[in-house]
């Protein structure tokens, strides 16, 4: 089964795309260690760490604004188990660890997908 990539776009925070990607990759490597903190977090979220062996993270700078603060950060998580698993992996396992290591402002606010910008609220 090939891996499906799910993406999230954020306003730039205090961390660079490279810093975020480095921590994400460390956490993904830790998932392969039974009894590790990352493995326990995955299990608590209902994920089977064994199904996440082929997971990978890609974090890049998105569109660039006139000012560095306007640059977006794009987080891509690939897992062969599908987008729902990727979402849980990001929100329940990776992001909490990134936030703890790099600070609560490592990423800015999540940007609404373009297709959803016309909704009210």
Domain ranges in the chain? 4-112
Asked if 6 contacts 90 with a C-beta cutoff of 8 angstroms, the reply is yes
Q: Report the residue count for the chain.
A: 121
Asked if 89 contacts 10 with a C-beta cutoff of 8 angstroms, the reply is no
Domain 4-112 listed as CATH 1.10.3470: no
Cα four-point dihedral sign 102, 103, 104, 106: negative
Tens-place pLDDT, residues 20-77: 999 999 999 999 898 999 999 999 999 998 888 889 999 998 766 566 556 789 999 9
Determine the pLDDT at residue 115. 38
**Torsion angle of alpha carbons 16, 18, 26, 54, nearest 10°?**
120
> What mean pLDDT, rounded, does the chain reach?
85
Is the pLDDT at 81 greater than 90, yes or no? Answer: no
Measured CA to CA, the distance from residue 90 to residue 49 in angstroms comes to 13
């Amino acid at each position: 089964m090939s891996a499906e990539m799910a993406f999230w776009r954020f306003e730039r925070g205090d961390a660079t795309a490279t810093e975020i990607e480095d921590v994400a990759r460390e956490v993904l490597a830790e998932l392969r260690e039974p009894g590790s903190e990352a493995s326990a977090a995955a299990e608590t979220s209902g994920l089977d760490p064994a199904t996440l062996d082929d997971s990978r993270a890609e974090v890049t700078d998105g569109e660039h604004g006139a000012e560095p603060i306007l640059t977006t950060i794009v987080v891509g998580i690939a897992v062969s188990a599908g987008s729902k698993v990727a979402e849980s992996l990001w929100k329940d396992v990776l992001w909490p660890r990134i936030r703890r290591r790099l600070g609560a402002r490592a990423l800015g606010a999540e940007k609404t997908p373009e297709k959803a910008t016309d909704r009210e609220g």
